[in-house]
């Protein structure tokens, strides 16, 4: 099994097809040649963790760097529907914007 951590948007898009990765533990650069789509096709399990913008920014539809500028924060996750078996979002339930 492989694990991959990327940033929101540009990192996700790079990871779909293949990605150069810097390992902060071993301080080495590695390459996931198949990316998420290739791993899906070859039935290789991968856990992909994406760091997303703050919950409040998503709820408010803020225009942020690495977005498409349309307030849709699910667009990149939706691209993964075709190349993943399971995908999920872990919301920040403690965020005050969700308590309203």
Find how far residue 73's CA is from the centre of its chain: 11
pLDDT tens across 63-91, in order? 888 888 888 898 999 999 999 999 888 87
pLDDT tens across 13-41, in order? 888 887 556 666 666 655 555 788 888 98
How many folded domains does the chain comprise? 1
> Which pLDDT score is estimated for 85?
94
Q: Are strands 28-32 and 19-23 parallel, antiparallel or unpaired?
A: antiparallel
53: CB partners within 8 A, 6+ apart: 8, 62, 64, 67, 73
3: CB partners within 8 A, 6+ apart: 46, 47, 48, 49
Find how far residue 3's CA is from the centre of its chain: 12
CATH for 29: 3.40.50.970
Query: pTM for the full model?
Result: 0.71
Residue 14, domain extent: 2-99
Helix, strand, coil percentages, rounded to 5, for the chain: 35, 20, 45
> Which pLDDT score is estimated for 28?
60
Among 61, 23, 72, 19, residue whose Cα is nearest residue 10: 19
């Amino acid at each position: 099994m492989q694990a991959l951590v990327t940033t929101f948007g540009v990192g996700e898009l790079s990871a779909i097809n293949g990605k150069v990765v810097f390992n902060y533990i071993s301080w080495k650069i590695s390459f996931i040649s198949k990316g998420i789509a290739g791993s899906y096709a070859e039935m290789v399990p991968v856990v992909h963790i994406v760091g997303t913008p703050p919950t409040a920014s998503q709820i408010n539809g803020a225009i942020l760097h690495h977005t498409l500028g349309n307030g849709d924060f699910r667009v990149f996750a939706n691209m993964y529907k075709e190349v993943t078996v399971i995908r999920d979002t872990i919301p920040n339930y403690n965020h005050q914007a969700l308590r309203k």
